[in-house]
Amino acid sequence: METNPNVAVAFYWLPLRRSIRIEGSVSKLSRQESETYFHTRPRASQIGALASPQSEVIASREYIDKIEDDIKLKLGESGEVPLPNWGGYLITPRAIEFWQGQTNRLHDRIRFRKSDEEVDDKLVHRGENGWVYERLAP
């Protein structure tokens, strides 16, 4: 993402037969923005993030539990949890598609996209702030 900021993300909910796909550009949040967000999370989540060397191989569950216990002991009940090697990214969307699956495979698809073009087409609808929306064939 640092060399190519163009991204697409998809979220699919099988039980509801729905998905959302977002296309846009991504930028890394500053350390201050990441820290501000980090401290809005529940304290247990902050400690968990600090305790876990995410995706590294560990010996056992007890290993992580011990690290968590040590952090809690060191910080006490009210000590601020320091920001671990942790950060966030912001996606600025250019297009968002909502999909609703249908049993007859004639799925519903609605796409919202940024467009500075004049819209003179009855199939494309003007929204707000430079957004247009349109129905797509399945």
Positions annotated as catalytic residues are: 105
Listed residue (89, 97, 85) closest to 4, CA to CA: 89
**DSSP calls for 4-19:** --EEEEEEEEGGGTEE
User: Which residues does 120 contact at the CB level (< 8 Å), separation at least 6?
Assistant: none
- Kindly state the helix (H) or strand (E) to which residue 88 belongs, with its residue range: none
